[in-house]
Structure 1
Amino acid sequence: MIIAVPYKNGNIFQHFGKTEALKLYETSDAKINKTEIIPTNSIGHGGIVDILRERKVSVLICSGIGNGAKKLLRENSILFFGGASGDADKAVSDYLMGQLVYDADAGCNHHCAEEG
């Protein structure tokens, strides 16, 4: 399974659609086998979802995320867990152990009407 996290300086970046990088985690048997940081060039939520789909990401762990991004993730069968914060590696490890702290109702707190 591949897990993605919007990433900056070791932490979960606070706004999915504005992230400049994603950290991808290749996992199996509840362990991280390989990681890779890829640039997104701040292409917005639609372009980022395209990257996730192309990279066969199954799960996204993020912080702030708008309704448009949520819709695109659902349409592409990518599970997402918003409202997470802090260390990205720890969040992925917590997810793999069934202990991720997240907010199922997480959104974004600015320009959600235009971005979705």
Structure 2
Amino acid sequence: MKIAVTYDNGEVFQHFGHSEQFKIYETDSNSILSSQVVDTNGSGHGALAGFLKDHGIEVLICGGIGGGARTALAEAGITLYPGTKGSADEQVKALLAGNLNYQPDTVCEHHDHAHGAGHTCGEHGCKDHGAAH
């Protein structure tokens, strides 16, 4: 199975649509066989699902993600595990062990307002669907 994680400096990146890198893991049923970090080459929100599909990704682990991206990933046949934080490697190991801590209802719906430098979705209420900000 091929698993991708939104990636920034070893951690799960918290805004899918702004992901500049993914870490892609080749796995068997219970272990990581290999991994590599790939650049998205500037692909934005709409193109990232296609980017992942082109790389043969079956599963995506990420932080915050918008509704449109969720739809695009579903149409690409990619299983989504949103609302994760921490080490990318540890999240993949947890998924393979069957104990990944994720938030299935995580939706980031704030693309109508500006963000300051260093913004990440996980910091201001995007964790739960319908959260007011």
TM range (shorter): over 0.9
Confirm or deny: 8 A CA contact 2:3 2:27 kept in the other structure. yes
Q: Which has the higher helix share?
A: 1
Change (3 A) 1:12 1:112: farther
Distance 2:63 2:76 in 1: 19
Number of aligned residues: 113
Aligned partner of 2:84 in structure 1 is 84
Aligned partner of 2:123 in structure 1 is none
Q: Secondary structure at the match of 1:23?
A: strand
Higher alpha-carbon deviation: 102-111 or 51-60: 102-111
Distance 1:43 1:51 in 2: 8
State the AA in 1 paired with 2:51: I
State the AA in 2 paired with 1:51: F
Return the offset for 1:29: 2.7
Higher alpha-carbon deviation: 92-101 or 39-48: 39-48
Q: Answer with 1 or 2: which has the greater Rg.
A: 2
Distance 2:12 2:112 in 1: 19
Which blocks of at least 5 consecutive residues in structure 1 are unaligned?
A: none
Distance 2:8 2:91 in 1: 14
Aligned partner of 1:31 in structure 2 is 31
Aligned partner of 1:6 in structure 2 is 6
State the AA in 1 paired with 2:53: R
State the AA in 2 paired with 1:69: A
Quote the sequence identity (%): 43
Aligned partner of 2:70 in structure 1 is 70
Distance 1:69 1:52 in 2: 12
State the AA in 1 paired with 2:73: L
Q: Deviations over 1:34-82 (max 9, x none)?
A: 1010001332122211111111100000000000000001101100010
Q: Secondary structure at the match of 1:7?
A: strand
Q: Which has the higher strand share?
A: 1
Which blocks of at least 5 consecutive residues in structure 2 are unaligned?
A: 114-133
Higher alpha-carbon deviation: 101-110 or 69-78: 101-110
State the AA in 2 paired with 1:18: H
Higher alpha-carbon deviation: 71-80 or 45-54: 45-54
Confirm or deny: 8 A CA contact 1:16 1:63 kept in the other structure. yes
